[in-house]
Chains A and B, each alone.
Chain A
Amino acid sequence: MIIKERESTHVYRQKRLFTKEELEAREVLCVHEQPAYCNAACPLKLDTKAMVAAIAEGDFTKARALYEKITPFPHILSAGCEAPCEGKCKLCSLGEGIAVRELEVAAVRWGEASKKRGLLRKKTKKAVLYGMDLFTLFLAGELAKKMYPVTVFCAQEDYAAVIAACTADLPEEAQAASAASLAKMDIKFEWNADPASALAETALKYDLVCASWEVANQVYPGLEIDEAVMVCREKKLITGKTEGVLGAAFGAKKAALSADRLAQNLDPANTRGEEGSVETKLYTNLEGVEPSVRVPCDTKENAMAEAQRCIQCHCDECIKGCAYLQHYNKFPRVLTREIYNNVSIIMGDHMMNKPINACSLCGQCSVLCPNGYDMAEICHMARQNMVSTGKMPLAPHEFALMDMVFSNSEAFLCRKQPGFDTCKYVFFPGCQATAIAPATVRAAYLDLCNRLEGGVALMLGCCGAICDWAGRYEMHENTVKFLNEKMAELGNPTIIAGCPTCKKELSTHENVEILGIWEILEEIGLPEKAKRLDKPIAVHDACGARGDTETQQSIRRIAETLGCIVEDTPYSGDKSPCCGYGGLTQFTNREVAKKMTDKCLERSGLPYLSYCMACRDQFAREGRESMHLLELVYGTSADHCPDISEKRFNRLSLRNELLKDVWKEEVEEVELGFAIDYTPEAIAMMDNRMILKTDVIRVLQNLKETGEAIFDGDSGLCVTRARLGNVTFWVKYTETETGFMVHRAYSHRMNVQTR
């Protein structure tokens, strides 16, 4: 069978992955970019987290620069801010929260004032302020920052007097510094004026008129203002009553924005964006965070120590556990948007194909994320979408898909237990168990036949997970239909799955009763030859058993019955990461697959006990002592890590041996008529290049039929080739007395012809 390659790169079909609303509904679940609790609480929108981080590193100047972004008078604000952020600090739930206000004072004290001057040009609309209180002082600073020409009419005689009048409680040093800041600002002061009469006389000369609450009430008694925008619409006067230092600073921010709108002849309420403090949806895991108490910020070092207590609240729950997300270093929200865009490309390079195909589809993210963000579902949908539009290349998945075709054709077996017309059960060990541990599968089947009543049929094949992972939905539908027909031939017995992924996959079929072999073993007891393993082990939970607590517990109970001391590991149970085989990552991106395996193994230095044969194999390949539960139960060891050809050979041999031994059917072996030997280099090369021995055999059979080969005088090797399906395979060989010695093999997908 040949799987059809996509027709052309010039087919410009495209289907949207989601509607815009669906996309947004998914994206909003990722809270990584939500503001930290302290940032969200600040009505002035101080990047508190970044400021504290800068102090923790000893960079007080950077911290001050961040602080100066939100206020023209850092001394005044830091001295008097009511600091609503402090109550929202996540550390409050453990011990004492960060002393943000003290850190602000420290930043202003030890950080150098920003020397940056705005590059904005002076605005043409002129602003005037009548009377100085804390609100108008902040407002004058804000308007000057916005490059309005500002004139102030005040009763005071100089800068120091203005600061003193506005902030009576401020320490002397801070008063002097604030007065100096005020003096440097590009503000024209009319000293010793009567602001109220000046308002009445001169207001018409200015475009933006602002006044202190006191002055405004003197001139317009009973004045009504819109507090949301700090404007009296009737008089077009910017003013307002504020309380406290933070209130004045926030009021001034709102008023300055109103000034912008009024300067543009817009309603002051027009497009103001989000103002003030906000609610954040951020999630921060406090696991492993120790309670701590405040350090007084009386020296630079102490301020740094206080800032170093900050845990820099953020959410990276998914990325912490997932090698795939770590590899691409993208959070689900960003990744989703890029995948969505990739799928929507009509013409051009699909840069996200690799990430789409590298996800193991294990679903760990949906458990780790506090909002259940499911990247696996998105990658799976993207694969199906691209298959449907003819945009999904076959190359990354073809080997695995052909392997599945092999499992469900040549190596497929479906038989009732001898002597039974109907069977109560059918054992479905799964394609990886038969490929990696055929002796274990054989022992398990014979044991089930012996100890279960009602007959146990056997079905050797693939459950369809492979084509489902590849997004080949039509192939998957056909596989479901094929397996359902075969199950019907057996009388739809209860399926005993040997693999949690098969159990999960087959349980989606209609009218299916399914159990894991572990559940049966717990019921009937373990066989006599079960191997005890009296030592500590780490159980690796299969992604197929995510959400299946009963299976996870059952495995642990059996392991303990066998003497194992099961030690808990981080990310176990539903949080378990993928071993690197799932989702076909092993085929599409070996680098990511290896990182996934390493991520699994870093959780414990103990031997690993798995209940999925693919996991067992992945860990063994990395040199870890690794065993499958059934290997212990049946006292059989899996094959050494079989290469891709051996995996197929194991499946076929198991099928043929069982046919012979259990059903007394002889399978005729096809004689090739010639011998093929391989150099060790060729064997390693073929495994690495995904070239099967059966591919080489077919190329050499083609050579026998056509005689087409060339001789390379440089290497002394003969070279032949054959086009098998979508791939041309080349074999470099020498002839031996009995046949061929294969030295090298390679392949390409392009077709070559003369012209």
Chain B
Amino acid sequence: MATEKTYYTIDPEGKLTCMKCRVPLHKGKAKFMYLDNGFPVELPVCPKCGFVYVPEELALGKVLSVEKALEDK
């Protein structure tokens, strides 16, 4: 089986905890959607409630640059 494409991966390494579910976030499958385009990624996700954490560096870095590129498509 071909490996699934992932654009970005962050492993929380146990440093992040979901305050609602009181469990550590793990590396989970998530998807960024913008202007009808989807990008599968692996981000810190709460295994119980599904809260997906987008770190500041990611939001202002790669996410912002992809947003800008798509906006001018």
Contacts and interface: CB of A to CB of B under 8 A. Distances in A.
A752 B20 contact: no
A752 B32 contact: yes
A706 B20 contact: yes
A437 B50 CA distance: 46
A708 B34 contact: no
Contacts of B59: 730, 746-748
Contact of B53 (A9, A710, A755): A710
A752 B67 contact: no
A448 B56 CA distance: 50
A711 interface: yes
A721 B70 CA distance: 23
Q: Which of A8, A348, A746, A752 is packed against the most chain B CB atoms within 10 Å?
A: A752
Contact of B18 (A351, A710, A732): A710
A707 B73 contact: no
B72 A753 contact: no
A728 B54 contact: yes
A661 interface: no
Given A711-B16, A746-B60, A751 B33 contact: yes
A751 B32 contact: yes
Interface in A40-99: none
Contact of B34 (A707, A719, A744, A749): A749
A732 B55 CA distance: 10
B35 A9 contact: yes
Which of A9, A351, A751 has the most chain B CB atoms closer than 10 A to its own CB? A9
A130 to B, nearest CB: 66
Interface string B18-33: 1110000100111111
Contact of A710 (B19, B34, B63, B73): B19
Given A713-B15, A713-B17, A708 B49 contact: yes
Contacts, number: 109
Contacts of A748: 54, 59-60, 63-64, 67
B33 A753 contact: yes
Most chain-B CB neighbours within 10 Å: which of A393, A396, A754? A754
A750 interface: yes
A343 to B, nearest CB: 13
B63 A9 contact: no
A707 B20 contact: yes
Contacts of A6: 35
Contacts of A711: 16-17, 19
A9 B50 contact: no
A390 to B, nearest CB: 10
A421 interface: no
B20 A708 contact: yes
A345 to B, nearest CB: 9
B16 A713 contact: yes
Contact of B30 (A710, A744, A755): A755
A396 B72 CA distance: 11
Contacts of A5: 35
A116 interface: no
Chain A interface extent, by class: 35 or more
A152 to B, nearest CB: 63
A10 B36 contact: yes
B36 A755 contact: no
B66 A395 contact: no
A350 interface: yes
A399 to B, nearest CB: 14
Contacts of B45: 754
Contacts of B51: 708, 710
Nearest to A754: B50
Nearest to A732: B56
A9 B73 contact: yes
Contacts of A707: 19-20
B36 A7 contact: yes
Contacts of B36: 7-10
Given A395-B67, A751-B33, A754-B29, A709 B73 contact: no
Given A710-B25, A730-B59, A353 B17 contact: no
Contacts of B28: 754
B56 A730 contact: yes
Nearest to A394: B71
A709 B22 CA distance: 10
A752 B56 contact: no
Given A8-B35, A708-B51, A710-B51, A755 B29 contact: yes
Nearest to A751: B33
A718 interface: yes
B3 interface: no
B47 to A, nearest CB: 10
A290 interface: no
Contacts of A749: 34, 67
A707 B33 CA distance: 24
Chain A CB within 10 Å, residue with most, of B14, B28, B44, B73 = B73
Contacts of A396: 71
A6 B45 CA distance: 29
A87 B66 CA distance: 59
20 contacts: A7-B35, A8-B35, A10-B36, A708-B51, A709-B18, A709-B19, A710-B17, A710-B25, A710-B51, A719-B53, A721-B54, A748-B54, A750-B33, A751-B33, A751-B34, A752-B33, A752-B43, A753-B33, A753-B52, A754-B50
Please provide the 6 A-B residue pairs with the shortest distance between their CB atoms, ordered closest to farther.
A8-B36, A393-B71, A9-B73, A748-B59, A750-B34, A713-B15
Interface of B: 14-20, 25, 28-37, 40, 43-46, 49-54, 56, 59-60, 63-64, 66-73
Given A707-B20, A754-B29, 11 more contacts: A9-B73, A393-B72, A395-B68, A710-B19, A711-B19, A712-B16, A718-B19, A732-B56, A746-B59, A752-B32, A753-B52
